[in-house]
Amino acid sequence: MRFKITPLVLALVFLSGSVAFAASDNSATPAPDVVTGHIIVQFEDDTAPFRIVPVARGNEVAAAQRVATGKGVIYAEPDFIVKAVGSNDAFYADQWSLHNTAQTIHNGVAEVLGAGTLDADIDWEEAYTSFASDTFSEVTVAIIDSGVDTSHPDLDDKMVSGWDYVSNDAIPEDVYGHGTHVAGTAAAETGNSIGVGGVAFPSTVNIMPLRVLNDDGSGYTSNIANAIRDAVDNGAQVINLSLGSYRKSRTMQNAVKYAWQKGAVLVAAAGNDASGAKLYPASYPEVISVAATDWYDDPAYFSNFNSEVDVAAPGVNVLSTFPTHPFTIEEKYGRSQNYDVANGTSMASPHVAGLAALLFAQNASRDNVVVRGLIETSTDDLGDIGHDVHYGWGRINVANALEATFTPPVDDDGDNNGPSCPPAKAAKGKC
């Protein structure tokens, strides 16, 4: 697989002499969530979706405002900093999110935290028992994150080529640790007698590692946008984004729309600040926004809640893969190499991405509207009846989704991009 990487840096760009950059005071203080030294600009009649244009350090916001008014400019904005949002497999008994038998819940494999609640899970065990012997098509899940430990014994056989947008090379190795954990939840090798099982259990589900977060879990809007576009252009049907920013970005939103129009299902973390604030890209309409639940099927104490939440999935004490080498989360938070637990809507999101991959693999003729509709209409409806801010349409149910059918409503707004009413709302007569 060969990645077509969009050029990231444009030394100086002038269209018809219409864009000029005023001198700036180099002592200006940059905004804390803005990448310094450049802005993002989209020009009319340009073959690239956007360009990176250098500006004086500390002057990014003002420069973007000036450039946006220039002739030939569609938009200009700062480049925002985006951060990680927090079988017979040997440790399967500790994967309460897949099969909750009210078992003892451990922090990793040592400290006892309490007991689970019977069936407060995604009914993965029921799905695996019923469908594991079926024939599944090949599907690729893009993990846009801090990279993945591509040599991990529970992941290595599912790897396809990826890219490192931080180092600009073809080795998306995970030094932070976050992406490896996310990848394991979504699609770890299953039934191989070691480690953990992934939600997307078939061997035909591939993992595409795209590294956009650095060794401390931070990244740039521009890199994430390029990764989203490159993922679908290189065959990914599902994109997981366990990251976010409270800043809306036109660059990111355009990339999300591009991926949806290309047929991908996009899944993202709703946020970990226990607030009603809307995190992006999760809150864009083309993305499935995922809140987190605990082993009692209650909303996780940290999970964001708002009207954009579409579904919920387990996100507390989720056991999954970690790098087999030293990594940042190990050093900072005492996590173990190979396997350990983590908390966050970042951990909830890949449960949903794995389910999306399963649904594509089960029936290759399904499109993204159908897959999203199946996910949202097959949930266990928790909390308030119907849609609510904590669970969305409910906590996902893998067995229900694999057994369900969904007929999408026709396009009703003339944009050739599906119905204006979200699939779950339409199916339940909500709009």
Give pLDDT tens digits for 8-23: 333 323 232 333 333 3
Average of pLDDT values for 105-132? 75
What separation, in Å, do the N-terminal and C-terminal C-alpha atoms of the chain show?
42
Give pLDDT tens digits for 49-77: 999 999 999 889 999 999 999 999 999 99
User: How confident is the model at residue 407, as a pLDDT?
Assistant: 83
Contact between residue 293 and residue 299 where contact means Cβ atoms under 8 Å apart: yes
User: How confident is the model at residue 107, as a pLDDT?
Assistant: 66
pLDDT score of 355 more than 70: yes
Q: What percent of the chain has pLDDT over 70?
A: 83
The rounded distance, in Å, linking the Cα atoms of 308 and 157 is 36
Q: Is the dihedral of CA 393, 406, 184, 340 positive or negative?
A: positive
Q: Which residues are catalytic?
A: 145, 178, 346
pLDDT score of 430 more than 80: no
| CATH 3.40.50.200 domain residues, the chain | 92-427
User: How confident is the model at residue 185, as a pLDDT?
Assistant: 96
User: How confident is the model at residue 194, as a pLDDT?
Assistant: 85
CATH top-level class of 92-427: alpha beta
pLDDT band with cut points at 50, 70 and 90 for residue 40: very high
Give pLDDT tens digits for 223-239: 999 999 999 999 999 99
pLDDT band with cut points at 50, 70 and 90 for residue 201: very high
CA angle 273, 274, 279 (to 5 degrees): 55
User: How confident is the model at residue 154, as a pLDDT?
Assistant: 96
Residue 172 preceded by cis peptide, ω within 30: no
User: How confident is the model at residue 13, as a pLDDT?
Assistant: 33
Higher pLDDT, 102 or 276: 276
In terms of pTM, does the model score above 0.75?
yes
